[in-house]
Chains A and B, each alone.
Chain A
Amino acid sequence: MNFYSIHAIFRFEMARSVRTLMQSLAAPVLATALYFVVFGSAIGSRMAEIGSIPYGSFIVPGLTLLAVLTQSVSNAAFGIYMPRYSGAIYEILSAPLSPTEIVFGYVGAAVVKSMVLAAAILITARVFVPYEVAHPFWAFFILLLCAVSFSMLGFIVGLCVDGWDKLEVVPSLVITPLTFLGGSFYSLNMLPPTWQTISLFNPVVYLVDAFRWAFFDVTEFNPMVDVAFLLGFLLVCIVIVGQIFRTGYRLQH
């Protein structure tokens, strides 16, 4: 493992997001803040509590995850797609790098960005709605696991797509709807039985459930099963990335 190589990639990626702070941090934080203004302060007060949790607080974990999941995928995908597009990938390929080092550099940077974003959103949310975190360690761990596995997913997307337009397909057309329908704004119990069953096939349901459990100590499944599910997803992503590097797919001619 070469520290200098990982550091070079990591620093390059972080420099890019610092240059684009408006887009990488301000925009998602503002978007989330607007949700809290609308659903938390404005109409949240007219909504019934869910369990014993005020509606505005109830949506905090789901909205945080929504931002973390979409931004992890976008960031990691953009990070590796950019050099593929510009041709700068030649340098990565010609350098004495192992796939692990490349992944640590790109995915590591995307994870750090997502965690910073999550912190910014949680702090902003606290301004509008009250909440406390019941299991801080688990909250951090689940958030980290989400950031890592979805950054890996983004890395795969960035390696596989062949156009700018396809880069946003997964975050906007897959992650966002799954998160909206994944119980971010409601409890599954509030759905008609058919939709409850369909929701069980939405993987994001389990992530939202686990993360909300870490906040409010209420769960619809078993948080440990949720975490195991996340770990399994991460493993699948690792295997796919390994396979991409082994075959050189979309990287080498």
Chain B
Amino acid sequence: MSNAISLRGLEKTYANGHQALRGIDLDIKHGEIFALLGPNGAGKSTLIGAVCGLVKATGGSIHIDGHELPRQYREARAKVGLVPQEMVNEGFESVLSSVRFSRGLFGKPPAPKLLEQILRDLSLWNKRDDATMTLSGGMRRRVMIAKALAHEPQVLFLDEPTAGVDVELRRDMWAMVRRLRDRGVTIVLTTHYLEEAEEMADRVGVISDGRLLLVENKTDLMARLGRRQLRLQLQQPLTQLPADLAGFPVELVDQGRELVLDVARDNQGIADFLRRLAANDIDFKDLHTSESSLEDIFVELLRKPA
């Protein structure tokens, strides 16, 4: 079976000479949620634009569900829905007619029932006759999602879906993305909120300066690069680490007031370590464990020279 999206050597150099994409190879499988992470200006939106027809690639190839762009643009484009990053003001159009327009534009026959369902899912149904310009920012964002879903795309691109969006809408959006995934829709989202990728994505790609630094399963990535630490605040500061603890990956910080232990993800060693502390009469007043987030991993990755 062909991939939902397949990119080979994708390049984009803008007219002003800026090289936004420097040879991207990427396969996105059917039915997965793929998060494209990267700082501002890394090339995320250019990549989405190239796949969705907003940007003319200057090199490489794009296949959507096996259809090559731009040669088989009809078959390819019909499968893709896009929610762009920039909010668009549709002006006086009502919500319903705007969504109806989107469906027609993609060459699909009218489907009032389906559109009603989409609007209900996005809590827009009772706003259907309102002009989009009278809606709040969050509501307009929902309209843009409804428009992207109106033609029943197999692949949905969400470019920074939750930038500047309130908590409620963000939760709704995550729930919606999961429902879509359950229906078999492939989802590609870009974000610089790592929390979002961590919460939702099956796989993560990190892009920086037009290059993909890595593509990996989120859980593998967290396991490989994630760290857990046990931190103990001591009753009495220590001047140096007791020799008895030397075998542990432990550090004395904060002028001897805190012990920091690196823990394997399976928590091996914590019990051992605590027994050894007790044996050495080291008392602690508080302890907590912390786990590195995708964010820490990400910052770490970008700091390393690519």
Contact = CB atoms under 8 A, between A and B. Distances in A.
Interface stretch (B36-44, B83-91, B180-188, B272-280): B83-91
Contact of B73 (A9, A19, A88, A96): A96
A96 B107 contact: yes
A253 B104 contact: no
Contacts of B77: 94-97
Contacts of B78: 96
Interface string A209-232: 000000000000000000000000
Interface string B21-57: 0000000000000000000000000000100111110
A192 interface: no
A9 B73 CA distance: 19
Contacts of B91: 86
A137 interface: no
A5 interface: yes
A106 to B, nearest CB: 12
B101 interface: yes
A11 interface: yes
B82 A90 contact: yes
A194 B72 CA distance: 57
Given A248-B56, A253-B55, A94 B90 contact: no
Interface string B151-186: 000000000000000000000000000000000000
A6 to B, nearest CB: 9
A8 interface: yes
A20 B67 CA distance: 42
B147 interface: yes
Given A94-B52, A94-B80, A96-B78, A8 B86 contact: no
B104 A8 contact: yes
B8 interface: no
A135 interface: no
A95 B90 contact: no
Contacts of A134: none
Interface string B85-119: 01111111100010011111111110000000000
Contact of B55 (A15, A16, A252): A252
A93 interface: yes
Contact of A9 (B82, B93, B105, B108): B105
Contacts of B107: 2, 4-5, 95-97
A98 to B, nearest CB: 8
B74 interface: yes
A4 B105 CA distance: 7
Contacts of A7: 104
Contacts of A165: none
A97 B101 CA distance: 13
Contacts of B90: 86, 88
Contact of A91 (B75, B87, B105): B105
A87 interface: yes
B14 A253 contact: yes
A90 B104 contact: no
A243 to B, nearest CB: 15
Interface centre among B92, B97, B106, B107 (most CB of A within 10 A): B107
Closest 9 CB pairs of A and B: A8-B104, A96-B77, A2-B107, A94-B52, A96-B74, A87-B88, A96-B78, A252-B56, A95-B105
Given A94-B80, A253-B14, 6 more contacts: A4-B109, A8-B105, A15-B93, A94-B82, A97-B77, A98-B74
